Chain A
Amino acid sequence: MQQLVRDWLEPLTTLLREAAWSMPLGQGVHLLGVCLLIGAAVMLYPRLAGSHRDGPPALVAGRLLPWIWIALGVLAVTGFVLFSAEPARMMRSPVFKTKMAMLALVIVLTVILQRRARRTLGKFETGNALAAMAGVSLTLWLAIAASGRLIGYGRRLLDYFFG
């Protein structure tokens, strides 16, 4: 399995390492995905958590959640490319692992939230469960974005704070 991964990933790793512009550009496009996702998230989650200025929560979710999925698609593709440039380093990085764990959690939450939001169609009251999920989701998205930036600093920073 590991051999298979190496055979498939290594040519890509070499390619990305050798082109000087590939990392800045790859990270730049990844960051554009982050912008779209975080932009939609700050507009969406407070509405689900009980601030109903822009209409019933189900409608707000209907026009903003698709952007979150689209951004996530862009992030998955560019993220995979960035991972391929330095797979060994990423697999050792505690910040990267934490980021992936938070990502898995927030994706599950988003699926549940989407289903629940649909069921509240036409209603303004969404209930505490949905509000709590919205709060946790926004916190996770912001933490994921922040940890993405901190991967580059890695263990040095962790050691400084917790070492």
Chain B
Amino acid sequence: MDFERAWFWLEGFWISGTIRESMWVFPVIETLHVVTLAMTVGSIALLDFRLLGIGFDKRPVRHAAAEALPWTWRAFVATCLSGFLMFASAASYYVTIPAFRYKALCLLLAGINMLVLHFGSWRDLGAWNDDARIPVAAKTAAALSLLFWAGVVVFGRWTGFY
């Protein structure tokens, strides 16, 4: 598939041009991206810590998830939107940046990891919800989630240095 044409196509939109050329639009979008990203990753991390038994939350996992996940999803939508806008402003350049590629890979892995957890041990959450002993599969998913999301954050910041 000819991806290159897709990147140029994205860059050709008027909004991509506006973001590229304006002095303040990019910084404002980037700031929104950072703040909403922090909400996304922070809420995910707190749930991961709960699954790993680290921290101060002793409630059943279901409660911890109900507290964190609404923030995760709402903020994630805003993070994706702002991220996509920045990407569209110079798509053909971003795809060549190594840090950006690593970030995309981490994001993909984080997504797969989430799906594995969701359709794996999460399905019989009822069996271990109240239990102090969380299945190894769920703990592994939580540890991987922390790793992949940290990768997304660090490589994301690194992208800005190119």
Contact = CB atoms under 8 A, between A and B. Distances in A.
A18 to B, nearest CB: 15
Contact of B38 (A25, A29, A145): A145
B154 A25 contact: yes
B122 interface: no
A146 B31 contact: yes
B39 interface: yes
B42 A37 contact: yes
Contacts of A146: 31, 34-35
Contacts of A23: 161
B157 A67 contact: no
Contacts of B17: none
A43 B34 CA distance: 17
Contacts of B41: 32, 35, 39
Nearest to A66: B56
A28 B42 contact: no
Contacts of A140: none
Given A37-B42, A146-B31, A160-B24, A29 B154 contact: yes
Query: Chain A interface secondary structure, helix, strand, loop or mixed?
Result: helix
B71 A43 contact: yes
Interface centre among B39, B46, B157 (most CB of A within 10 A): B157
Contacts of A133: none
A32 B23 contact: no
17 contacts: A27-B157, A28-B156, A31-B154, A31-B157, A32-B41, A35-B38, A35-B42, A39-B45, A39-B46, A42-B42, A42-B71, A43-B46, A64-B56, A145-B38, A149-B27, A150-B27, A160-B23
Contacts of B125: none
A5 to B, nearest CB: 27
Interface string A127-163: 0000000000000001001101110010011001100
Interface string B12-23: 000000000001
B114 to A, nearest CB: 16
Contacts of B154: 24-25, 28-29, 31-32
B37 interface: yes
Contacts of A31: 34, 38, 153-154, 156-157
Contacts of A34: 34, 38
A36 interface: yes
Interface in A50-77: 54, 62-64, 66-67
A146 B39 CA distance: 12
A81 to B, nearest CB: 14
Interface string B137-162: 00000000000001001111110010
A39 B161 contact: no
B34 A149 contact: yes
B2 to A, nearest CB: 32
Contact of A43 (B37, B68, B161): B68
B18 to A, nearest CB: 15
A43 B27 contact: no
